[in-house]
């Protein structure tokens, strides 16, 4: 029972809870030092979470303490601010 050619991985944004194609979301990973980093390739080690590319979802990460909750640890926000659209 393998995946067919039409399989599209779906992930949920931790901010708005929207379900989207994996390629439409940004994957964030908690590294060994407890810092949140962007996983461009989508295969980084560690616990990963997904967030929409929209300004409202990205800015809500800090405001609502979503990363610490999602990673189940005290996560240091080291995400580069340039990913948030102006």
Residue-range domains of the chain with CATH: 10-83 (3.30.1230.10)
Give, as one character, the DSSP assignment of residue 35: B
pLDDT of the chain along its 86 residues, tens only?
556 678 999 999 999 999 999 999 999 988 877 778 888 888 888 788 999 999 899 888 878 888 888 888 776 665 445 454 43
Structure confidence at residue 1 (pLDDT): 54
Q: Exposed, middle or buried: residue 70 (CB in 10 Å: 0-12, 13-18, 19+)? A: buried
């Amino acid at each position: 029972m393998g995946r067919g050619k039409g399989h599209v991985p779906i992930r949920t944004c931790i901010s708005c809870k929207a379900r989207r194609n994996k390629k439409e979301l940004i994957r964030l990973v908690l590294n060994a030092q407890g810092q949140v980093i962007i996983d461009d390739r989508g295969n980084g080690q560690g616990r990963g979470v997904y967030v929409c590319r929209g300004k409202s979802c990205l800015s809500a990460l800090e405001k609502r303490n979503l990363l610490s909750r999602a990673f189940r640890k005290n996560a240091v926000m080291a995400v580069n601010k340039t990913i948030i659209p102006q």
